[in-house]
């Protein structure tokens, strides 16, 4: 059975948008429960229409471009960020037959390329706002992403070495016997941390810097342009969850249930875990975050590659 | 590192704790009668206004939100107008403390939001209630020595007859 690619693309786009929208209400409800309060529960059954209310609010808010901003770059920045996240979803295999380009032999590299593009969105947003606080937020985001993307890439090399391929479909297929979270536990933890930093999630949401009572790189953004940053963050959470599920938790594979259910379950579990992290942990200081990245996580990820390589060589030699 | 994992675990356990939230508009909180909420003007048991427009409440008010004008009717003082600007009021209760006639009282009602700021200025007709409030039996003119129609000097409760200082008897 072949599904027309156009259908897959359209459904994937709307699926990601839907997941991002539902994540907003899920996050608020779960944070409420973690803090012993019910969270938004007034609008509709279980507060589900809160998504709709938020969407209406965001669409009808005044969409303002400051006169001192660089207009075209200012407009372009959120679009770049959102597209980068959206495009990355193309290489994620949802099920064996349902994905845009899971068999692409540079799938994982493409994800990192898109993650690299997302930095532009943040930096351009900070720069084009022509505002000191936005610029500082953008710079912090850039510095954070530079330091975290290095070992984000290195941490998955273990998986790539064990699979022998960058293709996401091959990576899932290679986990038929054992999920990579067991042989690659260190890599999984490092990738999780880097993924949090990559999506500016708490506790690593330094770009937003509420310390200076500004919203960081999107200080000057309003209405739907802010909404795109907002949705891109939640889509990024979904993307990171999907990546972790694919790379380390066996993707769509699992007993009894159909593959799509397993994929959804794993992603949902990881999204909830991200929200739990947000509720539990305080934000580290900026230099602490960078020092942790460069001095601890980078050597650990290199060590991970070294050990994985040594073990693979020993096995091949034996 | 262990501390971080422990924090995450303990936060996760909060998923199974009970909510502390009071569902406010449906579940009203109990507020004691001496709660300092919306201010009212009360009447004495006879149904007359208690306020004698002495201005002590306005003088005691730290934010100057009370303004009133004295009027006089058959020997009794009463406020011609009485305004409280609730957008200024800090609900400190000093006016209630200062009032010699128990006229001004603070009640447990705190639901007084408005969409227009000007609507928070309450006039006398908004403030004056029909009952005696927290002090049901007190009537200022019945205990004060003031002479009003129907009550001469010395006829008030617990009041001795006035002494005739020109008489020679002890």
Does A18 map to a domain? no
The pLDDT of residue A8 is: 86
Q: What is the pLDDT of residues A124-143, one digit of tens each?
A: 998 998 888 888 888 888 88
A5 domain-assigned: no
In a domain, A41, yes or no: no
Instruction: Pick the most confident of A137-151, A251-265, B3-17.
Output: B3-17
Comparing CA positions, the residue from A94, A12, A26, A101 lying closest to residue A262 is A94
User: Is B24 at the interface with chain A, CB within 8 A?
Assistant: no
B-chain residue closest to A36, CA distance: B19
The residue of chain A with its CA nearest to that of B7 is A280
- Tell me if A91 is assigned to some domain: yes
Mutate to test the interface with A, among B1, B2, B6, B15 (most CBs of A within 10 A): B15
- pLDDT classification of B125: cutoffs 50, 70, 90: very high
What is the domain extent for residue A313? 63-317
Q: Is the pTM of this model over 0.90?
A: no
Q: Which positions ≥6 away from A107 have C-beta within 8 Å?
A: A91, A101, A166, A167, A168, A169
Examine residue A115 and state whether it is found in any structural domain, yes or no.
yes
Mutate to test the interface with B, among A28, A32, A35 (most CBs of B within 10 A): A35
- Angle formed by the axes of helices A107-128 and A132-155, to 10°? 170
Q: Domain count of chain A? A: 1
Q: How far apart are CA B121 and CA B143, in angstroms?
A: 33
Q: Which of B12, B19, B21 sits opposite A276 (nearest CB)?
A: B12
| CATH value of B42-107+129-143 in 3.30.70.3270, 3.50.50.60, 1.10.10.10, 3.20.20.300 | 3.30.70.3270
Which residues are within 8 A (CB) of A162 and not within 5 positions of it... i.e. 6 or more apart?
A174, A180, A183, A184, A308, A312
Q: Quick check: A213 pLDDT over 70?
A: no
Nearest to A94 by CA among A192, A11, A4: A11
Residue A256 CA, distance from chain mean position: 29
Residues of A in contact with B19 (CB under 8 A): 36-38
Q: Which of A25-29, A34-38, A60-64, A202-206 has the lowest mean pLDDT?
A: A202-206
Residue A103 forms part of a structural domain: yes
Q: Is residue A263 part of a domain?
A: yes
- With cut-offs at 50, 70 and 90, classify the pLDDT of residue A209: low
């Amino acid at each position: 059975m072949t599904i027309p690619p156009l259908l897959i693309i359209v459904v994937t786009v709307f699926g990601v948008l839907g997941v991002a929208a539902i994540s907003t209400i899920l996050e608020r409800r779960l944070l409420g429960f973690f803090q012993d309060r019910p969270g938004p529960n007034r609008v509709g059954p279980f507060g589900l229409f809160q998504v709709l209310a938020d969407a209406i609010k965001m669409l009808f808010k005044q969409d303002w471009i400051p006169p001192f901003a660089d207009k075209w770059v200012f407009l372009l920045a959120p679009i770049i960020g959102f597209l980068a996240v959206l495009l990355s979803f193309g290489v994620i295999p949802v099920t064996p037959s349902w994905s845009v380009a899971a068999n692409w032999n540079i799938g994982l590299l493409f994800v990192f390329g898109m993650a690299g593009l997302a930095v532009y969105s943040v930096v351009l947003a900070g720069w084009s706002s022509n505002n000191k606080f936005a610029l500082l937020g953008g710079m912090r985001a850039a510095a954070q992403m530079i330091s975290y993307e290095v070992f984000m890439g290195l941490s998955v090399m273990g998986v790539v070495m064990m699979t022998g391929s960058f293709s996401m479909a091959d990576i899932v297929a290679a986990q038929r016997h054992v999920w990579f979270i067991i042989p690659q536990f260190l890599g999984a933890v490092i990738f999780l941390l880097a993924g949090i930093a990559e999506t500016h999630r708490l506790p690593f949401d330094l770009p937003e810097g509420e310390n200076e009572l500004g919203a960081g790189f999107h200080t000057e953004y309003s209405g739907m342009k802010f909404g795109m940053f907002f949705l891109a963050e939640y889509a990024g959470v979904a993307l990171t969850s999907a990546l972790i599920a694919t790379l380390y938790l066996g993707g769509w594979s699992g007993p009894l249930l159909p593959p799509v259910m397993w994929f959804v379950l794993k992603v949902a579990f990881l999204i909830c875990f991200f929200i739990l992290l947000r509720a539990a942990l305080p934000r580290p200081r900026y230099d602490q975050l960078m020092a942790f990245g460069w001095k601890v996580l980078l050597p650990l990820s290199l060590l991970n590659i070294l050990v994985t390589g040594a073990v693979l060589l020993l096995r091949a030699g034996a | 590192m262990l501390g971080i994992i422990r924090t995450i675990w303990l936060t996760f356990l909060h998923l199974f704790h009970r909510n502390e939230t009071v569902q406010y508009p449906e579940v009203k909180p109990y507020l004691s009668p001496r709660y300092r909420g919306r201010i009212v003007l009360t009447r004495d048991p006879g149904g007359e206004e208690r306020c004698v427009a002495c201005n002590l409440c306005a003088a005691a008010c730290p934010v100057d939100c009370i303004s009133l004008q004295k009027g006089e009717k058959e020997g009794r003082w009463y406020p011609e107008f009485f305004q409280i600007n609730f957008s200024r009021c800090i609900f400190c209760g000093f006016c209630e403390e200062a009032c010699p006639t128990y006229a001004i009282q603070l009640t447990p009602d705190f639901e007084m939001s408005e969409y227009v700021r000007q609507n928070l200025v309450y006039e006398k007709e908004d403030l004056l209630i029909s009952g005696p409030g927290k002090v049901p039996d007190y009537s200022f003119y019945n205990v004060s020595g003031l002479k009003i129609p129907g009550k001469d000097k010395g006829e008030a409760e617990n009041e001795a007859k006035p002494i005739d200082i020109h008489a020679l008897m002890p």
